[in-house]
Amino acid sequence: MNLPGKGLLKVSGILLVIFAGIAVVAGALAFGGLALLSAMGIPTGLLTVLMIYAVLAALFSLYVGVMAILGANKKEKAGQLFMLGVISIALVALDLIFSLIWLGAFVTAMTWVGAMFSLVLPILIIVGANKNKVA
């Protein structure tokens, strides 16, 4: 069966896997930096919490990307992919809220641009899943 959202889900899923994989690797490297800061006597409690959240969100995005690739041509997976896209958007919103609360005055235009780019792939997954659902 050739579903109308198949291509959108596959491309979005592949891009999400690539970017989430990079984020997981970057998060692992950042933990090394946190260990160095901690060894220098600099308090890292809040940074550690934020890094754990970032790595978990990246792992979830990796899962969403893999599920989008595997479920791209399965109509019965459309509802699940739709919900995964919605949860991904909620995680981006939560990340933005964390940034606003903890970074405050240090939130820059790049924070907003990053949040907007982070929304693109989950939105495309929702659109592709919706196309498959109504097909």
Asked if residue 31 belongs to a domain, the reply is: yes
CA–CA separation, 3 and 5 (whole Å)? 6
Asked if residue 119 belongs to a domain, the reply is: yes
Asked if residue 1 belongs to a domain, the reply is: no
Domain hosting 80: range is 6-134
CA–CA separation, 101 and 27 (whole Å)? 21
Phi, psi of 40 (to 5 degrees): -85, 0
pTM greater than 0.75:
yes
Average pLDDT over residues 85-108: 86
What average pLDDT does the structure give for the chain?
A: 92
What is the dihedral sign for C-alpha 117, 10, 129, 98? negative
Which tokens hold the place of 120?
């693109």
* Tens digits of residue pLDDT in 36-47: 888 898 888 888
* Whole-number pLDDT of residue 37: 87
* Whole-number pLDDT of residue 78: 96
* Tens digits of residue pLDDT in 70-80: 999 999 999 99
Statement: residue 57 has pLDDT above 90 = yes
Number of domains in the chain: 1
Cβ burial, residue 88 (10 Å; 0-12/13-18/19+): buried
Asked if residue 23 belongs to a domain, the reply is: yes
